[in-house]
Structure 1
Amino acid sequence: MPNQFIDQSFRKLILMPLGVAGGAVFGLGVIIVFLYLSMLDSGKATEIAKLATHIGTQLHQAESSERGYLLTGNDEFLQPYKDNVPRLHTQMQHLQQLLAGDADQLRDAVLAEESFRTWHTRVDALIQQQAQGQDVVPIIRQGRGRQLITNIADNLEVIAERQRIRRAEGLKRAGVTLALLAGGVLIGFIALALAFAIRGRAELQRVAQLKREGEQAFARSNAVLQHQTAMAEAESRVARLFVESGDLADIGQGLLAMLCQWSGALVGAFYVAAEDGQRFARISGHGIVRQSHAVDGFDVGEGVAGESARTQQAQWLHDVPPNYMPLASQLGDMAPSCVLALPMTGSEGTNAVIELGFLQTPSNDQVMLLERLQVAIGHGIEVSLLRARAHAHAV
């Protein structure tokens, strides 16, 4: 039982909040992955924008270099062209790789590279013509090469601008994701705290309920034990009374005193059956202040006491007549509110009746005590009657 209680408490108090925490961690993991992907996308957009802008700058440098050389014939102008052209081919290939996921911009990058190759081929042809002594200055002054490079650079700048917009959107998403992450962490902690608080409160209430139930069960067990102890003590005192006294009147007086004490009765009468068992006479009383017809005696079936003798069952009288078992008090004589007639039975039937008068109805435990003592008292009275009658016949 303790292990089962611990297991139930563990499941309710720990596993549910852990489930909430697990769900929160999963949600946070999804947000973190989304944030990571957004940052990767923003980083890639930044790289593409920088590369496209850098290629455009190098294109202008290469064009200025070859144009200066073709116009002046000075070899120093040609060196930047020779340095940039190989790098431009490599960078344009890399740009296309980065744009592999965007069909429109990839197409623009491919067209830019094709235009660059066309320009490069024309420039190399002009350089060869000049080396052969031909005049290429008029062709250069037409500016078609410069215009082609400008168009390529403009197209690359369009790519760069789109990537800047993409980066801005990615950073915006990342910001929103960070806000969601912070909010998710806060909500997760709040949810976890609430889960612990709710389950903890429920478990505390459950523990308190179990404690109350345990206390109630202990109280009931203790009450049963006390009742059993009182029963055993009462039976012992009754048995000792019959052993210590041989006179039925004294026995009756002692019985009435004990029964009134245990049951809360204020008045009582002890009736013993005659030898024929049809007439009962009062031989002892407790708290009775004057004689009444109920005190002297009765026949079997007469009144509540006679009915109890006939049926061998306890009988109650609630509408008590004013002169029936009157009891004394400091305020004067008064009648009990209810009377209980208890038959005492032996092997040959009812041999005595005890009447008890109450101002208030006794409790169930008190009535159970009286009913349990009926058999013990009945057997004791039977033995005492047999002994008394044997003594009378002997005399």
Structure 2
Amino acid sequence: MFTTSRRFSIKYKIAVGYILILCCLGAAIIMVSERISVLQNEIETMTARDMEINNLITSIRYSVVNMETSQRGYLLTGNESYLTPYMQSKAGWIEDYELLYEHFSSNPERSKDLESIKATIEHWIETAAEPTIELKRENQTQAIIDFFADDAGKQDVEQLREQLETLRLNHLESNKAYIADLDKRNSWLLMTLIGMLVAVAIISFFIVSYVSGAIVKTITQVSSTIKEIADSKGDLTKRIKVGTRDEVRDLAEATNVLLGSLEAQSWVQRNVAEVATMNQGLSNLTELASSFLSKVAPIIGASYGVLYYRRGSGDKLRLEKLSAYAAYGDDTSKESFRLGEGLVGQCAQDNRPFLLNQPENYSGSIASGTMKMRPRSVLIVPVEFERKVIAVMEFASIEPFKAEHLKLLEAIEEHFGVTIDNTAGRMEVERLLAESQAMTEELQAQTEELQAQSEELQMQQEEMRMTTEHLEEQNLYAEQKTKELEQAKAELEDYAEKLKQSAQYKTNFLANMSHELRTPLNSILILSQMLSENDSKSLSQEEVGYAKVIHSSGNDLLALIDDILDLSKIEAGKISLVMDEVSVAEIPELLKLVFDPVAEKKGLDFRIELQKDLPPIMQTDGQRLQQILKNLLSNAFKFTETGSVTLKLHRADPAAVSARMPDACAENMLAFSVIDTGIGIPKDKQGLIFEAFQQVDGNTNRIYGGTGLGLSICSEFAQLLGGYIALDSELHKGSTFTLYAPICLPDAQHALRQASMEAAAAASAEIAAGMALPQPSESPAPAADRGSAEEAGKEQPQAKPERPEEVSLLHGKKVLLVEDDARNVFAVVKALEAKGLHVTVAGNGQECMDIVASESDFDLVLMDIMMPVMDGFETTRALRQHPIMKDTPIIALTAKAMKSDQESCLAAGASDYISKPIQMEQLFSLMRVWLTKQVGQE
């Protein structure tokens, strides 16, 4: 191998020194390589750990936000499906917390912060989330409202945000300190490397002194070159140049190879760090892909690049193109690949790179402004995350790719996979946050709508203020006028407030007057009914007739009271519609059953005409619709002596609808026409009859009766239903009243849904009760302006005889009657004792409690609501606390005919509810139901 004496001479002379130099250089190289590797691992570990810690902090914050959003969604809707995210996040945040705690286990201060965060979350769950959810499940709405009045859980959420942000900032400070330490160690490494090189130079100097003068120049040259590399502070681009052909040249060449390897490693690490830094902060995959390609392609000398991202699962799993680099015109690169399809799909499936040199049929092209070229080399590399390929990058170049290019891409893909996954996770978090914000905005929409009118009024006031200021700037006279306008405005506002108070006083007065009228009316109806039944056979036939007249007159008075209350409710805006699907074909059948006896009695022809193309169903308030039609038909029969009355159902006339309701759709309107051959109405009086307490003239009232309320109420009801009533009449030639009503209101679906929810809630409450409770009967329909549907009921049928088991059920039972009105006490006691019941009377609630204290074996309690000393609500609640009377049936009796009375009575603990004047048969029926239930429970 060594053939020249010169080489042998050098080997023998410098063998020992050469070996030492190689050992020193080897040690230095190993130390530098090891340190570089350690630094690389530390950087990778710090980057991965930092990303994971930030992701865990973000995940915990998201889990808490998700729990809070899910909790509030459930509290608002009552839908159990809203609690699914709450339960998932409740279990998920613990896992993230444990992982985060592992990262900070060696840091007592951070561990203490984490324990404080955990305590805050658990405190919010225990004191705010779980209690309110339980309250919602128990349907304690008022308790929830009281809880959120001060919202103690809000302080926990705000404290949690501050704790998480403090943890994140402290972690950033720790990273900064760690990076500063890395810089210090790098400086130490550089000084060590310089020291070692100096030491090698010194050793080489002593060795050189022992060699011949022939090699001194060569050794000096090598030492000088190495020193230049050391003096350049790690410039690995320097190379040793030696002219001799001996072992020194071999050393120089080996050193050059080593420097080239180090330079390649340094190049790879430097570019990896630059790409990793560039990719931070991006929250969109497309932007990330475009930025990545724009950065990496110039580094590896690629003239074209594409990045594909893995989406979907199962049969829909594909690699879809995210972005392209230097694409030209209509880019011919394929938009997506299946696994195993093409080199891109195969690269993802096998998880290995592909390098193609001189491809012949490459679909892409490298283009500039003046030329197009085919690539000479194509490089396809997979991007892996957690042992799964999540993306594939493809590059093309007009020059062959080098080995360091492939190494660079392999080093980059390890970090880039984490970046892609983090970016995709952030996008998903942002999407979920956007959905949460959309739900929040939807919940705020109604509030914003309610604020719209207030804002509009404020805008008007602001415009008025600006106008006032402008006028003030012009002259003193305008200022005086402005003051006068403001004074007038204040007077108008004061007047409006007084009108509002007056309307409230009127409503309260009518409600109280209803109570005062119904209380004596109750005893009149009960006693007159008992007299008309003449069970004792002590009255003559003529006296029985007198009693029937008294009972009928009492019913007429009750209908008048209901008319006045309906009109008051309409004026106060307290009438609520119950929208439901109503069969169009059933309406005339129901009305025919009611008015056929009336027509037969008066000798009139009652006809019903139905158009062929009528819809089978319409969405409306069926009760209010029938109330309007009954009123119109009763009027027609009252004012028609000979001829006929016709009810006609047909499609609405578009011209008539557009004249009264320009914005309405005629195809959506249905017409109900009541046609009679009666006395008719003069043209100049037709608008008057729809006003309250108005009739055609005084003679009408004297001949036909009526108060003038019915048509006014019907007109208001028609407007509430979304339609109106039209009149076509001529004196002595009959009248045609036509009700136009929509087949489907625009918000009917919402109203129907609300009604269904209320009905479901009511049904659920009844099933808790153990059985369906009989509801109080609806108030009688208001009397008509020109007549009453009660004409159909003048011939009252005889009461059906009671079955023996019904008589025996009531006979001998003990009833406690709590009533302060002596007239009602007399009437009700007589009626109850006639059925064989034993009745004990208490004049007020306090007297009731005194009686119960000494005697509590009552089978049933009849409780009046409006009483002095202690009213029915308070007394009922007190009885429900009594150890013996807590399960005794309590039927509430009240003369107030307001909608909330039933709910208030049941909420106080009453078993059932009946309004005054009391229909005794209805009361007996309720008593049988509750007595039967009590026997079944025993």
Same fold (TM over 0.5): no
The structure with the largest alpha-carbon Rg is 1
**Could you state the TM-score of these two structures normalised by the residue count of structure 1?**
0.44
**Could you state the TM-score of these two structures normalised by the residue count of structure 2?**
0.20
Bigger relative contact order (CA 8 A; separation at least 6):
1
